[in-house]
Every structure is written in C-alpha cells, then in structure tokens.
Amino acid sequence: MTAYKHLFFDLDHTLWDYDRNATEVLRFLFDKYNLQEKSGSSVEAFLEIYQQINEQYWIRFEEGQIGKEEIREERFPLTFKNLGINSLKGLEDFGEEFLNLTPHKTNLIPYAREVLEVLKDKFHLHIITNGFQDVQLPKLEGSQLRSYFRKIITSDCGFNKPDPRIFLYAMEKAGCEPSEALMIGDNLQADVFGAQRMQIDQVYFNPIKEKHGLEKNPTFEVTCLSDIPSLLM
Ligand SMILES: [Mg+2]
C-alpha cells in the first residue's frame, strides 16, 4: 500500500452539503422576495431553473470562458427572466443575499466530521476547492471544520481544478510530493482527472453511483465517506 501522508479534500459536495445548504437558502429567499406572487411559479420550478442555469455558468467558468463576476451577476437575473419575471425591481439584492447567507449554512455530507476525526491524527489534511476564499472559509468555520485542515487552497491562487497548476501550488504549500498525496473529491474532471494528470492518487466520491468513462479508473471509488479510512489504514 502506498504511504500517503497528505490528504487533499474537495469541499463542495464532498464534505459540505452544497445542494442541501443552497436549497435551504433559495427556499427562504423565494418566500422573502415573494417570488411565487411575482412569477406565478412554484418554488420547485424556481429551483429547477436556477440549478440548470447555475450549472451552465459553472461549466463555462471551469472552461475558463467567464469569471466569477459573471456568475454572481448574471445567474439570478437570468433565472428570474426564465421564470417570466420582467422587472428586476426589488430583486437587486437577491444574489448578494444568497452569497451572504449560504456559506453560513452547516449541513455536511454524511460522516464528513466522523471521517476527518479518524484521519486527522494519521495524515496531514488539506482542502483544494474551486470556490473562492471569501465564500469557502465561512463554510469551513461555520460548520466547525476549519481546524482539521492545514492548508486551504482556493481558486484565489489563480487556477482551478483540473488545471495542474492548482495541484502544483497545493503540493508546494503543503510541502509534499505527488506520491505522498491523495485527492478526495466528487468531481471526475476536476478532482479525479486533475489529480491523475499530476500523478496524484485519487478517491472518487460517487454517492449516486454515477457511471463514468474516464480513460483511467480512479485509484479508489467510494459511495460513502465512511468507507475511506479502511482504504488508508
Ligand atoms: Mg465538489
């Protein structure tokens, strides 16, 4: 068995339950801003349209076509437009409020804390996330995960996974070699393929058992975080 010393975790959808946390805030804001009245649509329709639009923006971001400002400024106005809301009057602060509230939500992926608790004494734990520091740090702090991690690598370093440069930057910051590192994440492209290109072993966290056709299989694949310690210890 390879002697891993440094474990690099992705944050959103791997440790921090992005979908549940964001959905709770979106439901709250849907009511607060009277969107049912303004659009005649249900909260479910709103969530579905927003999720599609948001996903498209993140794909374009990960391909380097747009920056974070475009995501932040455009995704809600476009959602409102798709819901049939013609005037943005009174909705100007919606996106800002979403950004302010969401990182303070604290729902975690099942077993996240338990697994970190088991791993923390045996390994150096770090985060590599494609989010931004101002959003990701409150998530870690609010859900009381911050103290488990030595280095927090975010998109603010100028690169996003799967760009090899964010992994290089992370190795340098953590002071480790690719052979001592393991990347753990839910995204095949960003986390698994990104780490493969850097000769870093990977754990693909695949809770919905998504089928995949990567040229090279992940080093490990788990459907539950609680399966990770037995792979490594
Ligand atoms: Mg993720």
Domains of the chain by start residue, with CATH: 6-17+108-232 (3.40.50.1000), 18-103 (1.10.150.240)
| CA 112 to ligand 1 centroid distance, Å | 13
| CA 206 to ligand 1 centroid distance, Å | 11
| CA 140 to ligand 1 centroid distance, Å | 14
Structure tokens at 147: 């103290």
| CA 42 to ligand 1 centroid distance, Å | 28
Mean pLDDT, all residues of the chain: 96
pLDDT per residue over 24-70, tens digit each? 999 999 999 999 999 999 999 999 999 999 999 988 987 889 988 99
Helix (H) or strand (E) holding 61: helix 43-62
| CA 220 to ligand 1 centroid distance, Å | 16
Edge-to-edge strand ranges of the sheet holding 151-153: 151-153, 124-128, 6-9, 181-185, 201-205, 220-222
pLDDT per residue over 147-179, tens digit each? 999 999 999 999 999 999 999 999 999 999 999
| CA 36 to ligand 1 centroid distance, Å | 31
The CA-atom distances, in angstroms, between 101 and each of 22, 106, 201 are: 9, 11, 35
Q: What is the mean pLDDT of residues 61-80?
A: 92
| CA 87 to ligand 1 centroid distance, Å | 34
